[in-house]
Amino acid sequence: MQSISPTDAHAIAGAHLLDVREASELEQARIDGAQHIPLGELVARLDEVPRDRPVYVLCHVGGRSAQATQYLEQQGVDAWNIDGGIVAWYRAGLPVTMGEGA
């Protein structure tokens, strides 16, 4: 499985971010512009995931995104797990929209 640090993923111009957390988690914190498909819906919504460019997957701390990344790789997607999820993204000082209804 391919993985990447939050800082390196953020530095990629036009990177496609896929957030596989639950909708309730997005109310706490989210990355503007990231695509949201909860892990439990990923198989049914696979057609929504781009195949023409790399996809950088994140969740809260990296467990669910690792599962999603492995599945996407099996489906032929150039997928990368963002190490540490949104927690590491936030701790790296990268932009996060915080708060209810974020």
Query: Would residue 63 show up in a list of annotated catalytic residues for this protein?
Result: no
Spatial contact of 58 and 36, defined as CB atoms under 8 Å apart: no
Nearest alpha carbon to residue 94 among 46, 42, 45, 58: 58
Could you give the CA distance from residue 55 to residue 58 in angstroms, rounded to a whole number?
10
CB-side neighbour CA atoms (13 Å) of 99? 1
Tokens representing residue 29 in the block: 């914190």
Per annotation, catalytic residue among 39, 42, 49, 59? 59
Q: Known catalytic residues?
A: 59
